Amino acid sequence: MFGMGAGEWVLILLVILVVFGASKLPQLGDGLGRAIKNFKRAVTTANEIDVSPKKSEISGEQPKSGSAQVNDQAPKP
């Protein structure tokens, strides 16, 4: 794989073992597996973010009083 022999792979694995330690290797493998899984899912699925305007934005309605509103004025000391 990648033009590398078994000796090179063993050397790389030994360096990783020395750097991270035996207790961290399962966590490292788990995190790497999750990252690869999430990346594959993000690449193969459609964009899940809904950017369509809400009905209130289309009709020009003001937000209800219970929702947060931005105050452009600076607080008074």
Instruction: For 6-65, write each residue's pLDDT tens digit.
Output: 899 899 989 988 888 888 888 988 999 999 999 998 888 766 666 777 776 666 666 555
**pTM of this structure:** 0.42
Q: What is the rounded distance in angstroms from the CA atom of residue 16 to the CA atom of residue 4? A: 17
- Identify which has the larger pLDDT, 74 or 5: 5
* Sequence ranges of the domains in the chain: 7-45
Q: What is the rounded distance in angstroms from the CA atom of residue 16 to the CA atom of residue 22? A: 9
H and E: helices and strands count for the chain: 3, 0
| pLDDT of amino acid 1 | 59
